[in-house]
Structure 1
Amino acid sequence: MKKLVIAATAVFTLVLGACSTSVERIDSDSTTDLSGAWNDTDSRQTAQAMIDDVLSRPWIDQHVAKEGSAPAVIVGQVKNLSHEHINTKTFIADMERELINSGRVQFVASANEREEIRGEREDQDLNSTEASRNAAGQELGADFMLKGQINTIIDAEGKKQVRYYQVDLTLISLADNRKVWVGQKKIKKYVKNSKMRY
C-alpha cells in the first residue's frame, strides 16, 4: 500500500510539473519571431524606417521656408487589410513616437485625445482660477495627416509559407488635399511550420 501511495504521488508530481508555465524575460528590443505573423519587431522597424524616410523628403523644408515654422502633423487611420489580426494602434503609437522625438515636426493630438482634453478645458472654465484656466479656441490645427494601410499576400504549399507584408503610407496636406509624400515598406518572411495559420 505504501509503495502504491509513493508511486501515485510521483505520477501526480510529474503531471503537475508538465502543466507548469515557464516564463523567461527577454529584451523588449530583441527580434523574436515565433509564428511568422506581424509582431512588435515588424511594427517598430517599419515605423522607424518610414518616419526616417518621410522626414528626409523635401515637403518639410518647403513648409518651413513658406510658413516659417515646423509643420504640425497628425496620424490618422491605418487600415489593416491583411489576412490576420494586426493591432494598428501599436503601429500608430510607434510612428507617433518617432515623429515627436525627431523634433522636426509639431504633433497634434488625435481626435479621441482632443475630446478628452476639451472636456478638461470645459471643467477648467467652471472650476479653475482665471490665472490658471486654459481658454478654448487656442488649439493648433494640423497641416498634414499621415494615413495608410497594411496588406498581405500569402503563398503557401504544405508546411511552407511565404508571408509578404506591404505597408503603404501617405502624407496629405489638410489645406488642399495634396499628397506630399508616399512611402512603402515591404517585409517578406519564409515560414516552415507543421501547424500553419492562414
Structure 2
Amino acid sequence: MKNHRIKMLVTTSLLLPVFLLSGCASTKVSRVDANTEVALTDRWNDEDSRLVAEEMVADMLSYPWLKRFKKEHPGKEPTITIQRIKNKSHEHISTSTFVNDIKRAVMRSGVAEFIVSGEERERLRAELKQQDTYASENSRMEMGEESGANFALSGSIDSIVDQLGGKRVTFYQVDIKLINLQTTREVWNGQKKIKKVMERGFRL
C-alpha cells in the first residue's frame, strides 16, 4: 500500500508540469492586411492567385487582338465570357477565386467587359421572366436584349512535385487562352510558371 502511494506521488509530480504547461499555452491570432502574403506552406495560395491573374491579364491586353478589335469596332469595348479554368494540379485549388481575380484585373483596366455564363445567366433569365409577369410595364427589363460575348477565355492549372528527404520543390503552370467566338481563332495564349521550394528543419 505504501509503495502504491509513492508511485502515485511520483506519477503526479511528473505529470503536473505537463498540465501546467498545457494550461499556460495560448493561441495568438493576428489580423494582417489582406494583401500581405502569409505563406505557411508551399501550396498555392491567395497571393499566387492574385499575382498570376494580374500578370496574365496584363500580357493578354498587350496582344494585337485588342487593338484590332477597337479598330474594327470603334467606340465598343470587347466582351469576354469565361468558359472554364480547370484544376489539374495535385491539390485543391479554388478556381472560382482565380477566375474572380482575372475578372477584377480586366475590369480594373477598363478596356474590356465580362458576360456572365452558366448558372448565373440562367438565374438572370429566370428573373426576367418573373419581371415579365409581375413587374410594372415601365420598370420591367425586356427579354432578348442580352449582350453576346466576343471572346471566350479558358485554361488550366497544373502542377509537378519533386521531393527528396526534407526538401520539396513544387512547380505550378497556368495556361490560359483567348478565342474569338466569331472566327474561332485563338488570339492569345498565355502561360505563367511558379516554382516553390520548401525545406524542413530537423531539431536535435
Same fold (TM > 0.5):
yes
Structure 1 match to 2:184: 177
Give the fraction of aligned pairs with identical amino acids, expressed as a percent. 43
Matched, 1:63 2:69: yes
Matched, 1:136 2:143: yes
Structure 2 match to 1:167: 174
1:147 to 154, 177, 186: 154
Distance 1:99 1:75 in 2: 12
Q: 1:24 to 1:64 in 2, by over 3 A?
A: same
Name structure 1 gaps, 5 residues minimum.
none
Matched, 1:112 2:119: yes
Matched, 1:33 2:39: yes
1:103 to 81, 105, 110: 110
Structure 1 match to 2:48: 42
State which drifts further: 114-123 or 86-95. Answer: 114-123
Shift of 1:99: 1.1
Distance 1:86 1:71 in 2: 29
**What is the TM-score with the length of structure 1 in the denominator?**
0.88
Please tell me the residue identity of whatever aligns with 2:49. S
Please tell me the residue identity of whatever aligns with 1:180. V
4+ residue runs over 3 A deviation: 7-14
Deviations 1:2-50 (A, max 9, x none): xx9xx999975643443x4321111110122111100000000000000
Please tell me the residue identity of whatever aligns with 1:190. V
Distance 1:158 1:10 in 2: 35
Distance 2:200 2:80 in 1: 42
Distance 2:180 2:104 in 1: 21
Q: 1:17 to 1:145 in 2, by over 3 A?
A: farther
Q: 1:158 to 1:127 in 2, by over 3 A?
A: same
Distance 2:18 2:173 in 1: 51
Q: 1:9 to 1:114 in 2, by over 3 A?
A: same
**What is the root-mean-square deviation of aligned Cα atoms in Å?**
2.1
- Aligned with 1:43: secondary structure? helix
Structure 2 match to 1:191: 198
